[in-house]
Chain A
Amino acid sequence: MSAMIDTEVPAEVLVDIVGDVFESLLGEEAGRPYLVPYAEVGTPVSSEIGIDGGWSGRVVLRMPRAMAEHITGTLFALPADLVAESDLRDVIGELINVIGGNVKGMLPGTNALTLPSTDLEPGAETDRTALCLQWAGQPIHISMPTVPTGLAEPTPSGTEADTERSEP
């Protein structure tokens, strides 16, 4: 399946990267996300990271909030309903940071990676070119929209797409 358009990274490679990241963080027993037909992500959270240089765009991850809370709870050894928003942002930010770093290494030319940004209440999905993966019975979207050079900057902290991540 080749669901991605206008990108240097084939869908299969992107799926592999996401799979490696999930497996590494959550363990083999958690299973790897796999490609499925497009389905909407219900009650999503999102994180993204900009890449600027030989390829300019963003790598965007959307997943159900409940899934993000489950992953965060697993990583911090907490019940999902006790997960703090700062930890949720930290985890989805780090997920896209690792995915973005791996993607960057496959892109042509010299590229710079921005810091990740997170959004716990993103708007409705508009990017139908997103790859749809399934993990734990729920859809995850990963997309790589291109943007003009200079726009791949994280949204300033304190706005809806907050760059704040949890600190010690």
Chain B
Amino acid sequence: MKILVVDDSRVMRQIVVRTLRQAGYGKCEIVEAGDGAEAIDKVGQEQPDLVLSDWNMPNMSGLDLLNRLRADGDGRPFGFVTSEGSEPMRNSAESAGANFLIAKPFTPEQFRDALEPVLG
């Protein structure tokens, strides 16, 4: 099982990886990208089972990343991990084809609840 963590903040990628471990996904292989554009390359190279992406990033936002993947026919599981958890954001995420949205700050329990239906 491979998870791609996309965030322009190095510390936040580290915190997401730590939280994945705490949520019981410590055995997953983790790959990282610093923005949406880098994530496009990593998806092609690494073929992750799940993409966990920030929304607000330079170069290519998380929403643009998701739109690009879906436009290319890539339906792999995709979840946002973002500081904006309002209903309009959740609706936008769902409309674009995201499986879930986890709002920062988050807990390992929230990760487990969001990832379990997707990864089992």
**A contact set with B: CB distance below 8 Å:** 20-21, 23-25, 72, 75-76, 87, 90-91, 93-94, 97-102, 104-105, 110, 113, 115, 165-168
Contacts and interface: CB of A to CB of B under 8 A. Distances in A.
Contacts of A21: 104-105
Contacts of A23: 105
12 contacts: A90-B10, A91-B11, A94-B12, A97-B83, A99-B83, A101-B84, A104-B84, A105-B89, A110-B88, A113-B56, A115-B58, A166-B11
A4 B8 CA distance: 31
A165 B8 contact: yes
**List of 6 A-B pairs having minimum Cβ-Cβ separation, nearest first:** A101-B83, A24-B105, A105-B86, A94-B9, A101-B84, A98-B83
Interface of B: 8-15, 32, 34, 56-58, 82-86, 88-89, 103-107
B86 A75 contact: no
A87 B84 contact: no
B106 A75 contact: no
A60 to B, nearest CB: 16
A166 B10 contact: yes
A121 B80 CA distance: 33
A59 to B, nearest CB: 11
Contacts of B103: 101-102
A83 to B, nearest CB: 11
A122 B108 CA distance: 36
Contacts of B84: 101-102, 104-105, 113
A52 to B, nearest CB: 13
Given A20-B105, A21-B104, A101-B103, 5 more contacts: A87-B10, A93-B9, A94-B11, A98-B104, A105-B85
Given A75-B15, A105-B84, A115-B56, A98 B105 contact: yes
A100 to B, nearest CB: 7
Contacts of A100: 83
Nearest to B83: A101
